[in-house]
């Protein structure tokens, strides 16, 4: 049976050099030649995953990209957005105003632009490089925003992150979904949106049984994807919470863990 394979990027698809290894690339190209579908599933923006979907020729093999932790899905060949979940503007403003009372920063992604009202935002350079996006500085951002973004990224030094992220979560947990994508990145998505729920949604759209889906991940934002996929595969470098709920634990991202599993269990 042909599979729909959802793969996280950072810590999963790419190694610690931020590259797709030759073995992993060769394996994923072969999987597509054999009729399996690939969906890159990431917290990054569309621009932030472009390099990788081009390397894997997802346009040629009619693959998909899932961005902002499940909020947006694009058909790479046609460039058509097939899923687009946005934040409630009023509630988002309320949350961002509350976050300003906490020791935490935020940025807003929209149309491959990162918006900020604070140029001292923690890790801002990394955010821009990883997402390959432009920066737009808007001093009165919270009140002036007139578009509905797909997610909010909160950031702070990992040692200072626990209390402010907990306070935001407790106050707005019924309005948004929250995940840690890194110890220093805490993200807010529309309610009932996650990588896992979007994988289920895409599988239904494309006519796959959920039992014929496979997911690979390593962090907290991959939790639902690992749990809801027919087979959830945690990387050897995953956080312990992910390994505990995974159906299978493969090798690390520096040991070609994705290729290792696909070669053994999916390829002819």
How many Å apart are CA 44 and CA 76, to the nearest integer? 15
- How far apart (Å, rounded) are the C-alpha atoms in residues 260 and 255? 8
pLDDT of residue 177: 95
pTM, entire model: 0.90
Domains of the chain plus CATH, in order, are 4-85+193-265 (3.40.50.1000), 89-190 (3.30.1240.10)
pLDDT value, residue 109 = 87
Q: What is the pLDDT of residue 15?
A: 98
Record the tokens describing residue 93, joined without a space.
Answer: 């403003």
Place of tokens 């919470």: 241
User: If phi over 0 gives left and psi between -120 and 50 gives alpha, with beta otherwise, what is residue 35?
Assistant: left
Give the pLDDT of residue 178. 96
Structure tokens at 141: 């951002």
3 state SS of 64: strand
Closest CA to 71 of 143, 149, 182, 164: 149
Residue 33 vs residues 28, 38, 53, 72: alpha-carbon distances, Å: 9, 11, 15, 26
Identify the pLDDT of residue 111.
82
Reading the chain (268 residues) residue by residue, the pLDDT tens digits are: 999 999 999 999 999 999 999 999 999 999 999 999 999 999 998 989 999 999 999 999 999 999 999 999 999 999 999 999 999 999 999 999 999 999 999 999 888 889 999 999 998 998 888 888 889 999 999 999 989 999 999 999 999 999 999 999 999 999 999 999 889 999 999 999 999 999 999 999 999 999 999 999 999 999 999 999 999 999 999 999 999 999 999 999 999 999 999 999 999 9
């Amino acid at each position: 049976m042909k599979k729909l394979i959802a793969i996280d990027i950072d810590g999963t698809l790419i190694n610690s050099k931020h590259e797709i290894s030759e073995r992993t690339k060769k394996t994923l190209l072969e999987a597509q030649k054999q009729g399996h579908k690939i969906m890159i599933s990431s917290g990054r923006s569309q621009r932030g995953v472009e390099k990788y979907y081009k390397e894997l020729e997802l346009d040629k093999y009619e693959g998909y990209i899932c961005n902002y932790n499940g909020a947006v899905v694009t058909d790479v060949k046609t460039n058509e957005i097939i899923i687009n979940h946005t934040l409630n503007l009023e509630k988002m403003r309320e949350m961002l105003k509350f976050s300003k009372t906490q020791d935490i920063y935020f940025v807003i992604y929209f149309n491959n632009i990162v918006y900020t009202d604070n140029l001292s935002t923690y890790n801002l350079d990394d955010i821009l490089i990883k997402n390959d996006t432009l920066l737009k500085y808007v001093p009165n951002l919270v009140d002036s925003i007139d578009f509905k973004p797909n997610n909010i990224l909160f950031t702070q030094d990992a040692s200072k992150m626990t209390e402010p992220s907990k306070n935001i979560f407790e106050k707005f947990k019924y309005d948004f979904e929250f995940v840690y994508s890194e110890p220093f990145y805490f993200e807010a998505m529309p309610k009932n949106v996650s990588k896992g729920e979007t994988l289920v949604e895409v599988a239904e759209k494309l006519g796959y049984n959920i039992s014929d889906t496979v997911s690979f991940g390593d962090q907290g934002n991959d939790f639902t994807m690992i749990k809801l996929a027919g087979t959830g595969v945690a990387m050897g470098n995953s956080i312990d919470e992910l390994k505990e709920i995974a159906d299978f634990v493969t090798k690390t991202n520096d040991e070609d863990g994705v290729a290792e599993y696909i070669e053994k269990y999916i390829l002819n």
